[in-house]
Structure 1
Amino acid sequence: MDESIPRALQPPVAVALAKLVKTFPGPGALPGGMWAEPKWDGYRAIVLNDSDGVTLWSRQGKELSRIFPDLCAAVRAHVPPGVVLDGEAVIWNGDRLDFEALQRRMVSSRAALPVLVHELPAAFAAFDVLAVAGQDIRSVPFAGRRQLLEELARDWAAPLNLSPTTADMDLAKTWLKDLPATGVEGLVFKGGAQPYDGSRAWLKLKTKSTFDAVCAAVIGPITQPQAIIAGLPVDGQLRIVGRSTVLSTRVGRELGRQLRPALPGHPWPEEISETSLNRFSKDKGPVHLTLVEPIVVEMSADVAWSDQSFRHPLSMLRSRPELDPADVELPPHLEW
């Protein structure tokens, strides 16, 4: 059996991607029938088990092997050489995915990493296979690749996992409703006849949740705000948890009519760092806030929540001037 990885699959590997859709796809949306899988909230990872050893690579071609020694060891023990897997490296904290724990691994020193690995071990959810026995099988339709992946996974043990998939769209809709409580971001759809290529041939539907938040600051002038700074009660304090996408001129103008300048004693500063809105942002510069008297706004967000903030911009649905900001509560699905 050939244990070497085909030259065409030497990293960086062009990973298959998914195009975002806003509604559940119809039955003929993809060739060869449609399969649905959970969209994991972790690090996309290509795993190569070559004759020289096991390595993990990000979709951008960065080697992650040092960050995930536990996954490398598991692949070495349970996956034959000559195999290339596509999947997601995740960390479970109790019964919910913990993206922040992944981020901590990324910035940890070599000395500190073993403690993190011991406290919160990683897991790998494999959802595709690109090579078997040293043979490039990306041209094989998804249904055939899935069968090969299931055969490979027959004797796997934790932390290696076969990501579930289903052709039953009623079951997929149940997943879409139930899985966000675990931190799963939505669903990915694949066509049974699709080969594996580096285009956006798959589809993805992200789960959105709606909730009431407190708008206690905006970006831009109070009469024409450009974005909302959203707050939620965390540990007894109104904390900044994210900002909205850019407001349209009409929405900003309508919101501006309801805003009033902040009174003395406002809990937030007039300037914060970009990392206060997104702790993983590469932009470390300051963000100036226009403080306002708090009002309630209904927001929509995906489930990408890291400890005490949203990683992705929120969408404003409407203002709720009839509600009291003091009555806003932290949504149950964000409690840890």
Structure 2
Amino acid sequence: MKLPVLPPVSPMLAKSVTAIPPGASYEPKWDGFRSIIFRDGAEVEFGSRNERPMTRYFPELIEAVLAQLPERCVIDGEIVVATGNGLDFEALQQRIHPAESRVRLLSTQTPASFIAFDLLALGDQDYTDRPFTERRAALEDALAGVTAPIHLTPVTTELDVAQRWFSEFEGAGLDGVIAKPLTGSYEPDKRVMFKIKHQRTADCVVAGYRVHKSGPDVIGSLMLGLYNDDGVLNSVGVIGAFPMERRRELFSELQPLVTTFDQHPWNWAAHEAGERTPRRNEQSRWNAGKDLSFVPLRPERVVEVRYDHMEGERFRHTAQFNRWRPDRTPTSCTYEQLEQPVNFQLSDIVPGLGEPLG
């Protein structure tokens, strides 16, 4: 490649704030794989946040880039899997597969889309030192007329519109709003943007733990459960951000609750396929050496956690510890307590997104 901006490039990042700041450019926060597309003629590469190329996993997007993007460009955006029911991050995760045959099959079964939101280079011009307003205008011109699966994210400079997006778009699977300084340049790997995400609390049952990498007597994470309408305890996520001293204290505190799988609601051998139960010898698909097996606990302790949003029946991101709730009974920890976002169609955010390709 002979581009003014060459891979690898770490994407520009955002820092969390509690409120949408005034005087910025606002856009939806897409929930997918951050990727910078590099195109130089017939050469295409999809970079990732960790600077590892993801090109081979999305052949359908390569075809779209070659057919629609400018001959020589570098564009920052997000790879998502969009459906009629919103974004599907689980389906997107499954796209990262080592087998070429599986990659090809999934490219037709769960095709991906690319949401463009920044321009780093066009032709021989490096845009990274230019203000965002200029980069955005050039991006709109460069992508005028693109069709699915390539899309341009909507933007606004109206604070009230951004606040409405924050409330409404969650129902389509988006997880907040991004605010970009209007005059800011593109700064790779720097947190110069702002992200505003939903923060909620939920009371969950602590039903197990995983040990910490530092030793067998240190808690790594606590496994959380919620009861569904049928009285089944579903696995909904984990919390794990504890100081080391507290991790050791938790290990001692929880030992009286340790039980066997035969006496546990997540007895994987006895459950029907499809239930949300962690596996005893589960391995992380992102880290082949990471053991995700767990120690079962009698589901008697309740903890209040902070979370941003749900994906299906689980917390989309790792929840955060808030406080213990000795006043709550485990059976009261149900999905009914969770706030339900208003349903919203992706195609109302970006025309054509999530609709079948004709």
Bin for the TM-score computed over the shorter chain: 0.7 to 0.9
Separation of aligned partners in 1, 2:287 and 2:300: 26
Change beyond 3 A, Cα 1:283–1:142: same
Contact 1:215 1:295 in 2 (8 A): yes
Output the TM-score relative to the length of structure 1: 0.81
Residue identity matched to 1:144? E
Query: In the alignment, what sits opposite 1:36?
Result: 26
Separation of aligned partners in 2, 1:161 and 1:125: 5
Separation of aligned partners in 1, 2:281 and 2:15: 28
Q: Deviations over 1:232-276 (max 9, x none)?
A: 23695313322213346789989x999973678332469966857
Residue identity matched to 2:239? S
Residue identity matched to 2:290? K
Residue segments in structure 2 that go unaligned for 5+ positions in a row: 212-217, 269-277, 344-358
Query: In the alignment, what sits opposite 1:141?
Result: 131
Query: In the alignment, what sits opposite 1:231?
Result: 225
Q: 1:10 aligns with which of 3, 6, 9?
A: 6
- State how 1:250-329 maps to structure 2 within 5 Å: 261=257, 265-268=263-266, 275=282, 280-285=286-291, 289=295, 291-303=297-309, 305=311, 309-310=314-315, 312-329=317-334
Residue identity matched to 1:13? V
1:150 equivalent in alignment to 2:146 = no
Contact 2:208 2:294 in 1 (8 A): no
Contact 1:272 1:289 in 2 (8 A): no
Contact 2:204 2:225 in 1 (8 A): yes
Separation of aligned partners in 2, 1:169 and 1:241: 34
Per the alignment, in what secondary structure is the counterpart of residue 9 of structure 1? coil
Identity across matched positions, percent: 33
Q: Deviation at 1:120?
A: 1.4
Q: 1:67 aligns with which of 15, 36, 57?
A: 57
Separation of aligned partners in 2, 1:128 and 1:263: 52
Q: Deviation at 1:91?
A: 0.3
Query: In the alignment, what sits opposite 1:92?
Result: 82
Q: Deviation at 1:94?
A: 2.7
Contact 2:28 2:177 in 1 (8 A): yes
Query: In the alignment, what sits opposite 1:196?
Result: 186
- Kindly tell me the number of residue pairs found equivalent between the two proteins: 320
Q: Deviations over 1:19-73 (max 9, x none)?
A: 222x11543xxxxx41122221111111122123332221323222221111111
Contact 2:227 2:331 in 1 (8 A): no
Residue segments in structure 1 that go unaligned for 5+ positions in a row: 28-32
Per the alignment, in what secondary structure is the counterpart of residue 201 of structure 1? strand
Query: In the alignment, what sits opposite 1:30?
Result: none
1:81 equivalent in alignment to 2:75 = no
Change beyond 3 A, Cα 1:5–1:253: same
Output the TM-score relative to the length of structure 2: 0.76
Contact 2:81 2:88 in 1 (8 A): yes
Change beyond 3 A, Cα 1:153–1:193: same
Change beyond 3 A, Cα 1:210–1:251: farther
Change beyond 3 A, Cα 1:13–1:228: closer
Separation of aligned partners in 2, 1:208 and 1:73: 38
Q: Deviations over 1:119-155 (max 9, x none)?
A: 2111111000111223111111000111111112220
Separation of aligned partners in 2, 1:107 and 1:214: 33
- Tell me the C-alpha RMSD between the 2 structures: 3.5
1:103 equivalent in alignment to 2:93 = yes
Contact 2:21 2:179 in 1 (8 A): no
Query: Which 10-residue stretch deviates more, 103-112 or 142-151?
Result: 103-112
Contact 1:273 1:284 in 2 (8 A): no
- State how 1:21-32 maps to structure 2 within 5 Å: 21=17, 23-27=18-22
Query: In the alignment, what sits opposite 2:197?
Result: 206
Contact 1:5 1:135 in 2 (8 A): no
